[in-house]
Chain A
Amino acid sequence: MGKPTDLVQGTLDLLILKTVALQPMHGWGIAQRIKQISKDVLQVNQGALYPALHRLEQQGWIQAKWGESENNRRARYYSLTRDGARYLRQQQAQWNRLAGAIDLVLEAT
């Protein structure tokens, strides 16, 4: 396994939305979860994570609530809104189309 891959531009939003879609989660948890699910391939740049969260919140895709973390600290939990769910479906479909298309091109001989 080589160096952790940098995220493709614009995919961070998708990953965040997908992650919080599973269950409400705080920023730290989101980064960990992405890393864990992608088997350490995708490492979220922590400096980019929070601005992205705040932007998604401002756009209304996700909403934030304060809650208790696993080790009893106050943490800001993000969850998907209904608009966010719709947006996620769109983005996911688009991603699949794009990935499929790239696959087709790369498979061609």
Chain B
Amino acid sequence: MRWYYKLPLRFHSLFCKAKADQELNDEMQFHLQSQIDEYVAQGLDPVEARHAALRSLGGLEQVKEQCRDMRHVNFIEDFLQDLRFGFRMLRRSPGFSILAIFCLALGIGANAAVFSWIEGILLRPFPAVAHQDRLVAVAGTKPNGEKGNGEPENTVLSWPDWLDFQRNCTLFDSFIANPPMGTTLSIGERAEWVSGSVVSANYFDALGVRPFLGRGFEPSENSGRNAHPVAVISYWIWKQRYGGDPQIIGKTQLLNGVPHTIIGVAPPGFYGTFVGWPIQFWVPASMQETFIAGGYKLEDRGALWVESFARLKPGVTIEQAQAEISAVAKRLEGDYLATNRGRGVKLFPLWKTPFNQAGNMFPTLRIALAVVFFVLLIACANVGNLLLVRAFARQHEMIVRLSVGARRGRVLRQLFTEGLILSTFAAIGGVLLAYWCRNLLVLFFPASGSTVRLLRGELDWRVLAFSIAVCLISTLLFALFPAIQTSKIDLAGALKSESGTVFGGRAKSRLRAALVLIQVSLSFILLVGALLLVKSMQRIRTADPGFSTQNVLTTGVDLISAGYDKPRARNFQNALLERVQSIPGVDSAAFARVRPFSYSNYSSAPIAVDGYEPAPNELPTVEYNQVSPGYFATLGIPILSGRDFTRADDETAPRAAVVNEKMVTQYWHGEDPVGKRLQVKGQWLQVVGVAKMAKYESFGEAPKPFFYVPLQQDFAMRPSLNVRTSRDPVTIAAALTREVHALDANLAPFEVITMRESIDFTALSSQQVAVALLSIFGGLALLLAAVGLYAVMSYAVSQSTRELGLRMALGAMPLDLLRLVMSHGLGLTAAGLILGAAAALALTRLMGKLLYSTSSYDPGAFVLAFVVMTIVSVAACFLPAWRAAQIDPSRALRD
């Protein structure tokens, strides 16, 4: 290796340029002096000796220049010279430079922004957590579909299973459990909803997060039913709600009605491990029963509630880890057939995590990345076009350079350097743009009083590296066109006059036409994509979830945090229902533990039905909701057979259930089950009614078995309150708050919103991002394409003024010229549209998952995109065409 000789030499010659030159000079002087000495010794007089010595060297300066060449610094000096020249050129035409930089900055900025979102939401979503590249999400799987023959469905894990995975897997550094939950945090006068998480005791240690104050959890805090009421709070809460109290450690705070000792404050910048919103406090696993509905689950292998991440050991692939953990799951299934039959476990990379927002955002961001890449291509095509125009204008300069002996490579290098200056400025602008946009994603989500959204971009060195790469690639792309142009310059031909060209017939315009073609087809694709999404969103807006979305308001009251016990809560809920129902304008009102289409999870339990024989690997598990009498009427879900629950279905009455149609076909073979029985968690329930199918969590879900039980028989302290009314939410909200206060002055209901708003919040969020991004970028692309088309056409017209004038002199009417130019421009558009349509047919398929009941080949979207593109191109071509028609033949021919 000789770099250790070379490197210092290069640095020396580059950065100590004056010194290196001085040394070279000294060396040559020494040589001359020696030669002169010799000549003098031979008898020449000193002056003559000096001349002879110089002669024998053959030109001192040339030798020096050759020596400098040998030092290879000329490459860099040339670059600096190109840079200076490039700056001068760009300063001389500021309009062009600003337009080009603006186009590119949009393209690069869009790419950097989307990549920063991908980085911050999908790849490295948890700031302050070390080694996120080795984190995987651990999800449970259960058989799905008829007799468990479908694709397995992702679920979560049970605590005993989670402990067994932690004990038995060797390829993992650590497992953490972190199911999210929430509570109403009341400090002083102010009460507000905050998100929390029940975590395994190793949580902070495993993540490598050191508490800012106090300590994390200790291993003993994993076990013991409600034995360790301790909490770590976020830095944000500590600052905002406790005023940064330095004596906070050891104080107690009421959380879900239980006094918790605050043992630690998380470091600033740590938001927990949930993609979607920041977690504000953490409690150890032993506190599960206090925060997660459905009773004590730490010893129940059938209760699924644990969301988990694991960190792989260095060098372990996700496949190896999957093989190991699957083997453990298989053993557990054999050992605990009653609870684990058919259950497996699946590892996901972070960006596919099924139980947080990452899974939702992944398809959207993937499409966004494709879209911004298209925008970049269009921007490059546009800048390439602009550069081409300039290349024609600078042809004279190039010809002179080539004629006086510049190598073509040298001229190309100068062109690329100029391109690099443009894209460097653009990249700086683009990264600034991305910096401003990094948190914009949150704007696309409807605000809700109850949750603070956290979807942030992360501008780290990877994003910067990505932006630099984009910048270099785009430089190559757009500087390529003038370079091709220059390399084709024929010196002999170039000396001839340039006038007298035929309209649209020059080989040189072909390159520009090709660029326009690309722009038109790319913007067509984006337009089709945007239109498909808009259509899909309309479909969702008007889709029928199987329950009323109009005239239903929804809110809730948190009795857990208020410290109610069960009997008091029961009384309160009954009294509140009666009061609400008597508010003028209210048709009916009912509680439900889980509001449909909310982020809370339904309860789910293994079931058994007389006469239904499960397949060997099937453990029929069905989700259910706890509702109060009147729920079906309030939400407008028809009861097809049997009856609704009544006040009589209370804790003393036989346990009842209302099942949905899918359960009837799947477990009772389509026979009316009213009067039959259903076993849930080992208890028998009487089926009293059949409800019509509805959607429960999302519009995209397949029809699934579902049942309802009376809230009185499976009590929940923080249910949603649903109100059917035709009056506007504001008046009802006021009346509702009054009624709540009348019962308990310290309580306030959650924000009152319509069911539609509640659904939009969950169902539309990822769609809205996609629609917004595609619309913005689609519009941008359309604009850029129009500008490109306009530029090409007007340039073509201005270049062939003479020919057009000649045609007119020979009898062509202005209308003919208009037609000539228009047909040329529209021909380009048509070709671009055909190309774009072909590509769009192949590409929109990729949006499949985002589209709700809209075909990716939807003819409506294609036709509309066609029409829009045509109108835009006609508009872009008309001005140049009109100008062509205005040509004064006598003037055109004289010039």
- Residue positions of A touching B, CB distance < 8 A: 26-28, 45-47, 50-51, 53-55, 57-60, 63, 66, 69, 71, 73-76, 81, 83
Say what secondary structure dominates the interface of chain B. Answer: helix
A45 to B59, CA, bound (A): 12
Q: A63-B5, A74-B26 are in contact. Are A50 and B66 (CB under 8 A)?
A: yes
List chain A residues, Cβ under 8 A from B63.
46-47, 50-51
**B31 contacts A59, CB within 8 Å?**
no
B337 at interface by CB-CB < 8 Å: no
Which residues of B1-29 have CB atoms within 8 Å of chain A's CB atoms? 2, 5-6, 9, 23, 26-28
Looking at A63, A69, A73, the one whose CB has the most chain B CB atoms below 10 A away is: A73
**A57 contacts B34, CB within 8 Å?**
no
Q: A58-B70, A74-B26, A76-B23 are in contact. Are A27 and B31 (CB under 8 A)?
A: yes
- Flag B51-73 by CB within 8 Å of A: 1 or 0 each: 00000111100110011011110
**B23 contacts A58, CB within 8 Å?**
no
List chain B residues, Cβ under 8 A from A47.
57-59, 62-63, 66
A71 to B56, CA, bound (A): 22
Question: Min CB distance, B698 to chain A, in Å?
Answer: 67
B85 at interface by CB-CB < 8 Å: no
Chain B residues bordering chain A, tally (CB within 8 A): 26
List chain B residues, Cβ under 8 A from A58.
6, 9, 70-72
Question: Min CB distance, B728 to chain A, in Å?
Answer: 83
- Neighbour of A46 across the interface among B56, B70, B71, B72, CB < 8 A: B56
Q: A47-B57, A47-B62, A58-B70 are in contact. Are A83 and B2 (CB under 8 A)?
A: yes
B581 at interface by CB-CB < 8 Å: no
A27 to B63, CA, bound (A): 13
A54 to B68, CA, bound (A): 8
**B26 contacts A46, CB within 8 Å?**
no
**A60 contacts B30, CB within 8 Å?**
no
**B6 contacts A50, CB within 8 Å?**
no
List chain A residues, Cβ under 8 A from B322.
none
How many pairs, one residue from A and one from B, have CB atoms within 8 Å of each other in the complex? 69
List chain A residues, Cβ under 8 A from B27.
26-27, 50, 75-76
List chain B residues, Cβ under 8 A from A28.
30-31, 34-35
**A60 contacts B69, CB within 8 Å?**
no
Question: Min CB distance, A54 to chain B, in Å?
Answer: 4
B220 at interface by CB-CB < 8 Å: no
List chain A residues, Cβ under 8 A from B66.
47, 50-51
Not counting A45-B58, A53-B67, A60-B2, a sample of 13 additional A-B residue pairs whose C-beta atoms are within 8 angstroms of each other reads: A26-B31, A28-B30, A46-B58, A46-B63, A47-B57, A47-B63, A51-B70, A54-B67, A54-B70, A55-B70, A58-B71, A58-B72, A69-B30
Give the 4 A-B residue pairs with the shortest CB-CB distance, closest first: A47-B58, A60-B2, A60-B5, A51-B66
**B5 contacts A81, CB within 8 Å?**
yes
List chain B residues, Cβ under 8 A from A26.
27, 30-31
List chain A residues, Cβ under 8 A from B34.
28, 69, 73
Q: A46-B57, A57-B9, A58-B70 are in contact. Are A73 and B30 (CB under 8 A)?
A: yes
A28 to B30, CA, bound (A): 8
A54 to B5, CA, bound (A): 13
List chain B residues, Cβ under 8 A from A50.
27-28, 31, 63, 66-67
B646 at interface by CB-CB < 8 Å: no
Closest B residue to A57 by CB, please name it.
B9
A14 to B247, CA, bound (A): 81
- Flag B391-434 by CB within 8 Å of A: 1 or 0 each: 00000000000000000000000000000000000000000000
A66 to B30, CA, bound (A): 11
**A59 contacts B2, CB within 8 Å?**
yes
List chain B residues, Cβ under 8 A from A76.
23, 26-27, 30
Looking at B31, B58, B63, the one whose CB has the most chain A CB atoms below 10 A away is: B31
List chain A residues, Cβ under 8 A from B26.
74, 76
List chain A residues, Cβ under 8 A from B170.
none
Closest B residue to A70 by CB, please name it.
B34
Question: Min CB distance, B797 to chain A, in Å?
Answer: 55
B501 at interface by CB-CB < 8 Å: no
A71 to B5, CA, bound (A): 30
Looking at B28, B30, B59, the one whose CB has the most chain A CB atoms below 10 A away is: B30
B168 at interface by CB-CB < 8 Å: no
A79 to B2, CA, bound (A): 15
B149 at interface by CB-CB < 8 Å: no
Question: Min CB distance, A109 to chain B, in Å?
Answer: 42
Question: Min CB distance, A20 to chain B, in Å?
Answer: 15
A104 to B154, CA, bound (A): 83
A26 to B26, CA, bound (A): 12
**A74 contacts B30, CB within 8 Å?**
yes
A47 to B64, CA, bound (A): 9
Question: Min CB distance, B752 to chain A, in Å?
Answer: 79
A76 to B26, CA, bound (A): 8
